[in-house]
Structure 1
Amino acid sequence: MALITISGYPSSGKSRRAIQLKNHLERRLRDPSYTGPKLKVQILSDDDLNIDRNVYSDSRSEKPARAALFTAMQRQMSQDTILIVDSLNYIKGFRYQMYCAARELKLRVCTIFVVATQELAREWNKTRQDGKAYPSEAFENLLLRYEEPSSMVRWDSPLFTVPWLDKDVPADDIWKAITEGIIKPPNAGTQAVPKAPTDALRTLEHTTTTMVGAIMSEQAASQGLGGPVTLALSPTLKPRIDLPFRSITLSELQRMKRQFVTVHKKAITLGTVEKGAVDWSEKSIADKFAAYIEENLKA
């Protein structure tokens, strides 16, 4: 239903804001005036995945940790879940990756930027009593590498900034964003390309070869009179084609067959960008080849 990304400096109060937001959302969902779909609110954090703070000391260990978070996020995202991802999420490229994953599932998205000064975050990290403090060197590196969210880019929008002085999150605005916001369509670049069946190449070659032979036989029988004819390729496959009022040579037909097969081989081997189901049946190929021949004979 929605993906809420929380971002901020290490030890800036992100988990506290995530819990505040979860409580607000659950109260709204339990309210008798709420008449929308049945939803659940979940928080996904580093702690849920047993990701130690030390992983941020080394890029080699941080990368698989981020991958684990992203995989868990993909598993939990669904139409009946409001998922709050409570992690650093400090790399804009990673936030974009999360945004694209949400778009694929047609989920609403928003970003919460938990703001604290570096001095405050540093002090809070040093005084943590929960055993979840970041190592000093890793903490300082994360401050330097942090890429702040921006409302000017689509993957961080809508963006809600929550300063450390605010007692609570802007629950009303966030609720509106995740229940009434625009659902953006999946990015075309992330969608799977429809693939042809395994026998499509054989069907393409066999059907076009048979049609060339049938057209030559029809011409011989009618002595090149032309006009609309029905080609009996099989008891169930009888495509119609308008032939010109002249004799078509075998070399003409073979040239058009080669061109047609070459174009469609690429679509079969690489996939096609056509929307909806792609039909590679004998009938579909025969009809397309007949239309191709007619169009080229008119030129």
Structure 2
Amino acid sequence: MPLIMLCGLPGSGKSRRAEELRAALSADEEGGERRVFVVAEAEAAAGGSGGRTALRAEAERLLSRREVVIIDAGNELKSFRYELYCLSKHAGTPHCLVLCPGGAPCSDRPPLESPDSRNRWDWPLFTAPEDLSEPLPLSEIRAALFVRRPPPPNKSTRSQPLQTASFLHQLDRLTQDIVAALVAAQRNGVEPGQFIPLDVDGLGQESQGLLLSRPVSLPELSRLRRQFLSYAKMHPGEGEENLPQLGSMFLQYLSSNLQ
């Protein structure tokens, strides 16, 4: 069930590293081969349901089985890496992140938000050698996947302390305020291609606004807000320590879905 997320710019060798991992891990099982699935973003989107949406759905389907799942995709946005981390946590399985350096930015891809090992969804973090002829740190990756204990069970299966309800109320209010500010900015004449500054309590200094890529209606913003909140409600202990960071993730979630 372990999940491996690859991360990097186009041309950084992610697919080659995915194949290297698949070959190494499938031969590890004593008494036979371990099943290892590689989920590539382009292949997941072939069904027509969209890149990241299809990728997440395919990963979630495979994580219900007892195999290794490798996500061969850019995974540039930390908000999407967080979503994949939540999937692995919900499945009760370890995960790790492999950063592939090099490559080059692409106009049709979001900018790379560099992984930070201080974030639980970016840890354990391994950096692949930029020279593709050099091997990955396979022994350390194996230990992270098969020796390390998985994350604790989701708190949604336990009795929740009172502060959880308070936190969800704060997050609900924060996301409502963000949506209201975006709608008001459009009413005041902000057009696609312009940056919408946001002065919302609870966002924090690093979340200063959103680049409006196209006109967006209140119903669409409300739908995206409900989808984002569903992740937080499934994992009520995930964001209590850092409400501003979840506010930043909500903005990134909007940005990635409004392109």
Bin for the TM-score computed over the shorter chain: 0.5 to 0.7
Residues 45-99 of structure 1, C-alpha deviations (whole Å, 9 max, x = no match) = 02322459xxxxxxxx9x9421111011100113511000111111101111111
Contact 1:38 1:80 in 2 (8 A): no
Residues 228-280 of structure 1, C-alpha deviations (whole Å, 9 max, x = no match) = xxxxxxxxxxxxxxxxxxxxxxxxxxxxxxxxxxxxxxxxxxxxx9xxxxxxx
Tell me the secondary structure at the aligned position of residue 137 of structure 1. coil
Matched, 1:102 2:69: no
How far apart are residue 163 of structure 1 and its match? 2.7
Matched, 1:173 2:173: no
**Residue in structure 1 matching 2:39, options 39, 44, 49:** 44
Q: Which has the higher helix share?
A: 1
| Percent of residue pairs bearing the same amino acid type | 29
1:176 counterpart letter in structure 2? A
Distance 2:15 2:145 in 1: 19
Structure-to-structure mapping, 1:213-232, within 5 angstroms: none
Distance 1:78 1:86 in 2: 18
Contact 2:26 2:36 in 1 (8 A): yes
Aligned to 2:231: none
How far apart are residue 14 of structure 1 and its match? 0.3
Aligned to 2:163: none
- Unaligned 5+ segments in structure 2 are 161-235, 237-259
Question: Residues 25 and 138 (structure 1 numbering): CA distance in 2 closer, same or farther, change over 3 Å?
Answer: same
Distance 1:47 1:92 in 2: 20
Q: Which structure is larger by alpha-carbon Rg, 1 or 2?
A: 1
Aligned to 2:121: 155
Runs of 4+ in 1 over 6 A off after TM superposition: none
Aligned residues: 160
Distance 1:51 1:10 in 2: 19
Matched, 1:78 2:64: yes
**Residue in structure 2 matching 1:183, options 141, 150, 159:** 150
Contact 2:26 2:33 in 1 (8 A): no
- Unaligned 5+ segments in structure 1 are 53-60, 126-135, 195-272, 274-299
How far apart are residue 185 of structure 1 and its match? 1.5
The TM-score normalised by the length of structure 1 is: 0.48
1:163 counterpart letter in structure 2? P
Tell me the secondary structure at the aligned position of residue 95 of structure 2. strand
2:148 counterpart letter in structure 1? G
Residues 134-183 of structure 1, C-alpha deviations (whole Å, 9 max, x = no match) = xx5325xx3xx211111111111111101312512111111111100121
Distance 2:141 2:5 in 1: 12
Aligned to 1:221: none
Matched, 1:137 2:99: no
Tell me the secondary structure at the aligned position of residue 138 of structure 1. coil
